[in-house]
Structure 1
Amino acid sequence: MKPTIYDVAQAAGVSIATVSKVINGTGRISDKTRKNVRKVMEELKYQPSMVASALTGKNTYTIGLTLPDLANPFFAEIARAVEDRGHESGFNFFICSTDNDPAKEEKYFSLLMKKRVDGVIIASRTHNTAFLKKMIQMNIPIAMIARELPALAVDTVMVDDFLGGYQAGSHLIELGHRRIAVVAEDLNEMSSRERLRGCRQAMLDAGIEPDERLVTVGGFTLESGKEAMRRLLLLDAARPTAVFACNDVLAIGAIQAARERGLHVPTMLSVIGFDNTILATIIDPPLTTIAQPMQEIGRRVVDLIIQEMRGEKTQKQRVLLLPELVVRGSTGPV
């Protein structure tokens, strides 16, 4: 038999009303009692009925999370961080991978509304502001990761992309590089533009004039990173001695393309990425990269959306976190 709310109350040594308050996130309950009740719920594998909650207009304890591509380790790690933090607060997740497809995204937004999720966290590029406005009108809290929508008042958790780009450029300059290429993800995206701008600023501050021929768009996949690097290597005499790729996947694609041309990394070409995913530690040589604080991103965005669900804040927040340079073996002196 499935455990009931009565079983939870008896095992935790509290009243049914207390268990109900923990489930609904209401009432004045000590952290010790709340944690004890949640622990018992987990041990008994007790799950409140989401269907019943939805029908009665109560919380369903589910949050939607839209991602552009789960094949990218950065988004997989973000999903894990978000899910871990949500589970600590008793929430489950509908994880939706949109592949940056507007039609697929619209389908998922519609599904999340039908499921009566308590909130939606968006880490994907979104083109469906009409759906988001509808969610806001339905009092469904929305929070965004690594992107902003100026037309909508929503909570946002971001990393300082300009600073990350500046750190990448400065590291390469300190190693003596002057011909520094940038492989961007998508220059229509603010994060890519800011990473490029940061790298350019580091060059300008060092008295180096950026070469527009050394900026190319690589997209989001390993193969597109390889293709972008191949284009840069066709410059021959003008080719770069170092490359800043705006994510780790593109950086690894760049390393593979360099090897195809017989270029050793880092003695003949230095490569730096962005994100610090697990890929950075398993590639040979290990990838120098700009680390995003993924656990902190997950924690902050979940906390923001739960605070809004519970009416604990009235102002939307824009949280800007700091990146960090992690030096490994893929960068070296000229």
Structure 2
Amino acid sequence: MLKVTIKDVAKESGVSIATVSRVLNQVGFVSDEVRARVLATVERMNYQPNAVARSLKSDKTNIIGVIIPDISNPYYMTISKGIEDQIYQKGYNLIFCSSDESQEKERDLLQLLYGKRVDAIILSTSGGNEDLIKQIQKSGIPIILMDRKLDNMDTDFKIDIVKENSVRGAYELTKHVLELGHKKIGVVNGPMHISTGRDRYEGFVKAMKQYNLEIDTKYIVDGHFTQKGGEEAAKYFMTLPEMPSIIIAFNNSMSFGVLLELVKNGYHLSKDINLASYGELEAAQILRGTDIIYVRQNPYRIGETIGGIIIKKLVEGKRDTTEVFEFETELLVYN
């Protein structure tokens, strides 16, 4: 079936294309009789206006592009829910893209969203695309950084960012582990080219230095911020002559991978080995007696804050303001 065009609607209604356009866009004068006839034809023919064409005319799409590193991570989905709850009521919708922690894919997605004329972009960056981000922002499309910051950016370049104090969160988590008496600690960190990977490792190092403990690099593993990375890290620790007494995983996906692999191999948490997680573990809530230590994050509040920035820029017209929010985390234990 051929797609119905505005030209088809005009012909069937016995009016000009301009008249159909005035009816659909609710501008200019059209008699009640003609308006009713055009709308009836639109409904009968199931005509769908061309959104791209309309956006070119209005210079507005009411679409916000969101680029996240892992679309399966509940942390980012909760942030997205917070954003959507703020902006949907203002007539905006979200479209999601997953960069899979790839700088190249992130670059392609940024160019795609720029070409689609989205009204704003929310980005949890995998790094390395600072020049393109700067170019898009200067073109008039606001970019709000989510969870992660940029590197190698000009000091005079201003960009909104909503993130956590990852250094402090990782420091407090490691400090608590050390206070429990653990000395042999396995660490599953994220990639060091990503700001959260560096920041959380910095917090770990800070705590270790405070307790005058040396860092044994054979107990440090890059888990790539993924569940699979956590699983592979746990497998690696099992091959060592001496297992760590506790594993710290510096995001929720890696923590779940570690937990899954340990349980699969018959390890009993709090008896055979312990686990500390930067981020909540939904699975831990159904397990008893695990004593998993975790950093509780605030993803929904982060999303609400980002949504508020979007509204200020696109609805209230405050495009020249730049806001930086940094949330603190809380340390808890699953009993």
- The answer to whether TM tops 0.5 is yes
TM range (shorter): 0.7 to 0.9
Give the 3-state SS of the residue equivalent to 1:71 in structure 2.
Answer: coil
Distance in 1 separating the partners of 2:322 and 2:313: 9
Report Cα offsets for 1:186-237 as digits up to 9, x if no partner. Answer: 1222212221221232233234333222211111322221211222232223
Give the 3-state SS of the residue equivalent to 1:236 in structure 2.
Answer: coil
Structure 1 match to 2:221: 216
- Tell me by how many angstroms 1:122 deviates: 0.3
Range with bigger deviation, 305-314 or 164-173: 305-314
CA 1:81–1:287: 2 relative to 1, 3 Å: farther
Distance in 2 separating the partners of 1:83 and 1:301: 10
What amino acid is the match of 2:221? T
Contact between 1:218 and 1:250, CA under 8 Å: does it hold in 2?
Answer: yes
Give the 3-state SS of the residue equivalent to 2:225 in structure 1.
Answer: coil
Give the 3-state SS of the residue equivalent to 2:275 in structure 1.
Answer: strand
Correspondence 1:173-212 to 2 at 5 A: 173-212=178-217
User: Which of 156, 163, 175 is equivalent to 2:161?
Assistant: 156
Give the 3-state SS of the residue equivalent to 2:334 in structure 1.
Answer: coil
Name the % identity.
28
Give the 3-state SS of the residue equivalent to 1:314 in structure 2.
Answer: coil
The answer to whether residue 73 in structure 2 is matched with residue 72 in structure 1 is yes
CA 1:49–1:307: 2 relative to 1, 3 Å: farther
What amino acid is the match of 1:82? I
Distance in 1 separating the partners of 2:119 and 2:291: 41
The answer to whether residue 255 in structure 2 is matched with residue 263 in structure 1 is no
Distance in 2 separating the partners of 1:248 and 1:312: 35
- Tell me by how many angstroms 1:124 deviates: 3.7
Report Cα offsets for 1:214-273 as digits up to 9, x if no partner. Answer: 211111322221211222232223x31011101122112222333455432111211011
User: Which of 232, 235, 239 is equivalent to 1:230?
Assistant: 235
TM-score (normalised: structure 2) = 0.75
What amino acid is the match of 2:182? H
Give the 3-state SS of the residue equivalent to 2:213 in structure 1.
Answer: coil
Give the 3-state SS of the residue equivalent to 1:265 in structure 2.
Answer: coil
Report Cα offsets for 1:143-195 as digits up to 9, x if no partner. Answer: 10111124153111110111111121122123221212211021222212221
Structure 2 match to 1:301: 306
Paired positions, count? 283
Give the 3-state SS of the residue equivalent to 1:56 in structure 2.
Answer: helix
Distance in 2 separating the partners of 1:321 and 1:60: 31
Distance in 2 separating the partners of 1:49 and 1:119: 20
Contact between 1:280 and 1:288, CA under 8 Å: does it hold in 2?
Answer: no
- Tell me by how many angstroms 1:133 deviates: 2.8
What amino acid is the match of 1:119? A
TM-score (normalised: structure 1) = 0.76
Distance in 1 separating the partners of 2:199 and 2:127: 19
Distance in 1 separating the partners of 2:280 and 2:216: 27
- Tell me by how many angstroms 1:131 deviates: 3.2
Give the 3-state SS of the residue equivalent to 2:58 in structure 1.
Answer: coil
What amino acid is the match of 1:91? Y
Distance in 1 separating the partners of 2:72 and 2:106: 17
CA 1:305–1:279: 2 relative to 1, 3 Å: farther
Max Rg structure: 2
- Tell me by how many angstroms 1:325 deviates: 1.1
Structure 1 match to 2:97: 96
Correspondence 1:25-64 to 2 at 5 A: 51=52, 54-64=55-65
What amino acid is the match of 1:307? K
The answer to whether residue 333 in structure 2 is matched with residue 327 in structure 1 is yes
Q: How well do the aligned residues superpose, as a CA RMSD in angstroms? A: 2.6
User: Which of 248, 252, 257 is equivalent to 1:253?
Assistant: 257
Distance in 1 separating the partners of 2:85 and 2:50: 21
CA 1:124–1:316: 2 relative to 1, 3 Å: same
